[in-house]
Chain A
């Protein structure tokens, strides 16, 4: 049966906010406390998160402002109208490759962690494959459905984060948090850089603003969308330090999961809470991966309008699978995701470039 034209196919502001939150929350937070604890003393890492988060929120604001200047044009269209076509194609492809890498890294990391915590002997290839199949199923559906999926998963994810913190209050030791403000600024700033990596992914605002019901509210929404994960990160970080102390956090590979491991459900209804946490966290990483794949598909369809969306999904998925299988060990994954993150940070300059050039050329959005 034909879909109806009166059904909503535009993204509401709320869906936009949670879409940004969903793509940001993912693998970053699992190891973020460790990376920050290594750089900062005591509990000071939260300042780094605050700085990194605020910086990212500012960038997101600029990006959304840029995109909402061209409310009826796709990213490819407005960049080509401002920066000429070849440059635009280059930038678009860099973004597409970047998001494909994000999807690949998420797939790989989630499979790796699943293997460690849940499926010890199952080959990593099989875990990734099935995870990707579900991602493909999601992306080959309608785009608005993907945003609604975020809407349905985020409350569960926030809930599980809160549950972990609540059950960890018993183990929370204030002596681990104090003294505060003892790290020097250069370390705090390099911690800030580290936490920016955990915020990457919000660049989707450049692509999705066109789909919004009210593109004007995009900038505000982008800031809120970055702030939610920032709050989650700060809470998780402070609890990790409070529960483990700084030095232990430095030496645990995934402190966030390990924190779930500490949870003891009163009444011993069930044990091993980390399995539950981790299972739910798969939803988060699924959201990240699906959004990243979808945005690259969207980028490609805007360059080649004739290509069929489903065919593109089926074409991109094997690429993601192969990329995700490339790194051989833990360090290789880390360095791969590091270099991807640097590309992402480098791409922060694009909206500024667009704004400056459009000011010079005097290009205006339609």
Chain B
């Protein structure tokens, strides 16, 4: 069934791709224009290309005291206008040329410009209109000089952005509180500040046919398995869509199985998580415009790790790890078990409890699975509503929904009190997982297992459990088995996947990513 569905989706994809390719070709023919020597022609071209928008600034002026015309082109709001005025226009206007001549030797001026005149740290020569457009859209300023075939792109980026804040989705009690921001440079700097390793590599890609967003693939040379990097690069290069606004889309475009409900890459807002992952031999994918960084390859167990596990005492965190696995089980199977036990196997409930449950359900008109579906859907509604609503109201919704509706439903005899307990504990359990992506997956699987339980009781539940396991063992994340270290059994990896042994015991990097350098701890540190 799945295979046919896959085929169907693939066909559609192919069709879309071929259509888009045609469109792209025509576009590129339009704008891939070589720049001319003539200043006014060039300026006209760029005006025409952008259709004279209000925020396009074109400022013409002369070099020094000569009549040599030149112009800066930039986009208002993306540039630091003070540095454009002071560092570019003013310096060029006041440039002292060798001889106080009326005309300028353009060739020589080109060399002088970067060597002596401009103090900006980032300067690049661009020769096509396309490059110029990309430059000014990135917040750089284009300097046109009449008579020159090339345009100088000067870095003047500055725009309003969010400051460094504590990540909301991955809060910790103990540990660094800085999170990534929407600025890719800030983000890469965060990681550099933590890893002063000269082997830390940042490889830049432009993704998005129209958005031309910056994507950075990061890894530590010498640790990471080069095949993983190769594969990641190949996949990133294959991205060919209009826009890639968020790493979630990158993930969907490069993951191994797009039909799977499981997240196959780990997204995080925490720099410490990224640096730890890089040291484990994984790669990180940064994207400009989003604070979420992708970590790959990811395995199932990784979604149960929180950075705090490493900062707190290890026995407690081992317990917490195991607790998370139990919580995941509860989040998926508790409502299903409720249905199965009540409708199919009441013999499994201790006698007195069975009698009292039967007593409380006496007036309930629905069978257990209708009751469970009703309450679980209600819970999902409340959750979704809680996200949308502004924060203060969001909390109210929680109270109104959880307490008042639950209480009312019980006293109205629509659901039994036990059901409310089940729904509440399921919800609590699903929020124990550090990864929101995995939480969403488990929430979805919960409904599947409830359906199976409604049909076959425990038999249905075990079939669902087996199916989830089959799926996980078949799944891969950039070629690494998703079920490692359980599926392909790596004894050493259990130290930091199932348990959390003391830091000194974690001598090796995870084997599942097959790192080049396996040793994490120097010999001196052993004792």
A and B touch in the complex (CB under 8 A): yes
Interface set of A (CB-CB < 8 Å, partner B): 1, 3-4, 6-8, 12, 14-15, 114, 118-119, 122, 127, 130-131, 134, 137-138, 140-142, 145-146, 148-149, 151-153, 268-272, 275-276, 279-280, 282-283, 286, 310
B483 touches A134 (CB 8 A): no
| Chain B residues, Cβ within 8 Å of A149 | 469-470, 473, 487
Interface residues of B in 452-510 (CB under 8 A from A): 456-463, 465-467, 469-470, 473-474, 476, 478-481, 483, 486-489
The answer to whether residues A279 and B461 also contact, given A140-B3, A269-B350 and a CB cut-off of 8 A, is yes
- In this complex, what residue of A is CB-closest to B3? A310
B471 to chain A, nearest CB (A): 8
- In this complex, what residue of A is CB-closest to B225? A6
Known pairs A12-B488, A138-B466, A152-B486; list 10 more (Cβ under 8 Å): A3-B479, A7-B479, A15-B489, A118-B345, A130-B460, A134-B467, A134-B470, A145-B473, A149-B487, A271-B351
Alpha-carbon distance between A148 and B481 when the two chains are bound, in angstroms: 10
**Contact-residue size bin, chain B (C-beta under 8 Å from the other chain):** 35 or more
A283 touches B462 (CB 8 A): yes
B476: contacting residue among A3, A119, A282, CB under 8 A: A3
A131 touches B235 (CB 8 A): no
| Chain A residues, Cβ within 8 Å of B370 | none
B3 touches A134 (CB 8 A): no
> Counting CB contacts under 8 A, is B227 at the interface?
yes
> Counting CB contacts under 8 A, is B344 at the interface?
yes
B486 touches A134 (CB 8 A): no
B300 to chain A, nearest CB (A): 11
Most buried by B among A6, A127, A134, A269: A6
A138 touches B470 (CB 8 A): yes
The answer to whether residues A279 and B459 also contact, given A137-B467, A145-B473, A268-B350 and a CB cut-off of 8 A, is yes
| Chain A residues, Cβ within 8 Å of B3 | 140, 310
| Chain B residues, Cβ within 8 Å of A137 | 2, 467, 470
> Counting CB contacts under 8 A, is B347 at the interface?
yes
- In this complex, what residue of A is CB-closest to B491? A14
Most buried by B among A12, A142, A271: A271
| Chain A residues, Cβ within 8 Å of B469 | 149, 152-153
A148: contacting residue among B2, B231, B487, CB under 8 A: B487
Alpha-carbon distance between A209 and B2 when the two chains are bound, in angstroms: 30
A-B contact pairs, 24 of them (CB 8 A): A1-B257, A4-B231, A4-B479, A8-B481, A14-B489, A118-B344, A118-B457, A130-B463, A138-B466, A145-B470, A148-B483, A148-B488, A151-B489, A152-B469, A270-B348, A270-B349, A270-B350, A271-B347, A271-B349, A279-B458, A279-B459, A282-B459, A282-B463, A286-B466
B256 to chain A, nearest CB (A): 5
The 10 closest A-B pairs by CB, nearest first: A4-B479, A148-B487, A145-B473, A141-B474, A7-B479, A272-B348, A145-B474, A148-B473, A6-B227, A268-B350
Alpha-carbon distance between A1 and B231 when the two chains are bound, in angstroms: 10
> Counting CB contacts under 8 A, is B279 at the interface?
no
- In this complex, what residue of B is CB-closest to A111? B459
| Chain A residues, Cβ within 8 Å of B465 | 283
| Chain B residues, Cβ within 8 Å of A283 | 462, 465-466
| Chain B residues, Cβ within 8 Å of A131 | 463
A4: contacting residue among B227, B473, B488, CB under 8 A: B227
Alpha-carbon distance between A119 and B345 when the two chains are bound, in angstroms: 9
Alpha-carbon distance between A270 and B462 when the two chains are bound, in angstroms: 18
- In this complex, what residue of A is CB-closest to B352? A268
> Counting CB contacts under 8 A, is B514 at the interface?
yes
Alpha-carbon distance between A130 and B486 when the two chains are bound, in angstroms: 26
> Counting CB contacts under 8 A, is B150 at the interface?
no
> Counting CB contacts under 8 A, is B376 at the interface?
no
- In this complex, what residue of B is CB-closest to A281? B462
The answer to whether residues A134 and B345 also contact, given A149-B469, A270-B350 and a CB cut-off of 8 A, is no
B3 to chain A, nearest CB (A): 6
Most buried by A among B227, B255, B470: B470
A17 to chain B, nearest CB (A): 11
> Counting CB contacts under 8 A, is B254 at the interface?
yes
A7 to chain B, nearest CB (A): 4
A118: contacting residue among B235, B255, B458, B489, CB under 8 A: B458
B348 touches A127 (CB 8 A): no
A119 touches B470 (CB 8 A): no
Most buried by B among A7, A14, A130, A137: A7
B345 touches A272 (CB 8 A): yes
Q: 1/0 contact trace for B328-350 toward A, CB 8 Å?
A: 00000000000000001101111
B347 touches A272 (CB 8 A): yes
Alpha-carbon distance between A15 and B489 when the two chains are bound, in angstroms: 8
A142: contacting residue among B351, B458, B474, B479, CB under 8 A: B474
- In this complex, what residue of A is CB-closest to B464? A134
A146 to chain B, nearest CB (A): 8
A151 touches B348 (CB 8 A): no
Most buried by A among B257, B349, B466, B480: B466
